[in-house]
Amino acid sequence: MQEDGLRLDIISRDGHSISRRQISENALKVLYRLNKSGYKAYLVGGGVRDILLGLQPKDFDVVTNATPEDIKKLFRNCRLVGRRFRLAHIVFGRDVIEVATFRGHHSETDDKVSKSNAEGRLLRDNVYGEIDEDAERRDFTINALYYDISDYSIRSYGGGISDLNARTIKLIGDPETRYREDPVRMLRAVRFATKLDMQIDATTAEPIKTLAPLLSDIPAARMYEEVLKLFFAGKAEENYQMMQHFGLFAPLFPQVSALISESPKGHAAKMLQAVMRNTDLRVSQDKPVTPAFFYAAILWYPLKQRADDIAIESGLTLYDAHVAAMGDVMEQQCRTISIPRRFSTPAKDIWQLQLRLERSQGTRAFKMIENPKFRAAYDLLLLRGEVESGNIAKIADWWKSFVEADETERGEIVKSSSKGSNSRNRNAPQRKRRRKPAAKTKPAAE
């Protein structure tokens, strides 16, 4: 037990289930070399937590009292990264072991190594210290677990082992202060709760709704990575529901959230649920999931609304209004989540193909199906059919029968659809022809 600060429990090798066989060979190389060179070295955080829970860790992170410069001298395959907090990446081919120096507490007068903004968010954090200080600087107790390579014991701070056994997510320190330091911790609380099937401690959860708007100040590039972790790991639907409960979804997706607020059971809300379920299903089946389709799908109804507004305001055709709206909607989304062009450009292609799919139920379907983005656009059309029903559902059914048919059957489908019907999109609003003003007649002479 620490006299000051966090409670410390030391679990000897015979008191826990971690074996070196469960730790990656490259992580062990790093730990052993640091230890043999006279430094303290620990496996920390998620790697220790997941092994204790019987899960396969995604990453093996290491902490040490060696400075980044010391680490670089020890490892030729080391590169130093990070500005907010300096880290060493030890590169073994595609495997990267991240090594951090113990973090320390801030000195109020030392602005060279640490800096926070007016809201309390840490902007720069290169403050080094001892292991006890490092533990106090960690976010959740279940991540304040250190596996000591020198004697194979575990150092558990703040009741981390107890919380792990109780399946409780608990912040270290005052929740409001810690969330203000880094608002992304609110998203991490949600993600750990769903990923590990745990409950968020009441004290840890209490300030989240009030502080959720702070996420708007997080750099958009960082939020892109957080969204991948939230929605592409098989827990998208659960994370979405919990984010809505805490008010964390709106700061990330303001356009979608605005439509859901207007109509909680409308098309945008139904599409979001469908996309989350669809993404989780694909992850469970080991099928690829792509941010291009994800963003194209959840932003479809904000795009549709913006296109309708542009068409009414400018008199542009629906197609031209859609093209104009694509840039507006994607630009607004990128203010909160920086979507790389390798995904935003295909998302726009998927959007553009929606109007063509609605008009191409004839011989043009043969050429359409060869488009490299056809499959993604077709999948979005099927989701729209589920959400909207009506004419869009009929169009989606036509395409489904066409896609699943063989070449001979496709010819018959096209022939039957050509008889007595045209391929115009009846679902799209049509521009009304302007009536010519009636000729003025002279009043009859009295």
Distance of CA 102 to the CA centre of its chain: 28
Tell me whether residue 139 is one of the annotated catalytic residues.
yes
For the CA atoms of 396, 401, 406, 411, the dihedral, rounded to the nearest 10 degrees, stands at -80
Q: Give the pairing of strands 87-92 and 78-81.
A: antiparallel
Give, in order, the Cα–Cα distances in Å from 348 to each of 289, 353, 397. Answer: 17, 9, 23
Name the catalytic one among 50, 61, 148, 163: 61
Distance, CA of 227 to CA of 225 (rounded, Å): 5
Name the catalytic one among 9, 59, 308, 349: 59
Distance, CA of 352 to CA of 374 (rounded, Å): 11
- Residue 407 exposure: Cα atoms within 13 Å on the Cβ side: 1
Tell me whether residue 132 is one of the annotated catalytic residues.
no
- Which residue stretches of 75-159 are H helix? 131-137
- Which residue stretches of 299-418 are H helix? 300-314, 318-334, 341-359, 364-368, 374-388, 390-404, 407-418
Distance, CA of 404 to CA of 381 (rounded, Å): 15
Tell me whether residue 61 is one of the annotated catalytic residues.
yes
Name the catalytic one among 125, 134, 139, 148: 139
Q: Which residues, including other chains, have CB under 8 Å from residue 307's CB and lie 6 or more apart?
A: 318, 321, 322, 324, 325
Name the residue with tokens 């790697």: 47
Phi, psi (rounded to 5 degrees) for 64:
-155, 165
201-224 b/e (C-beta count within 10 Å ≥ 16 → b): beebbebbeebbebbeebeeeebb
User: Which of the residues are catalytic?
Assistant: 59, 61, 139
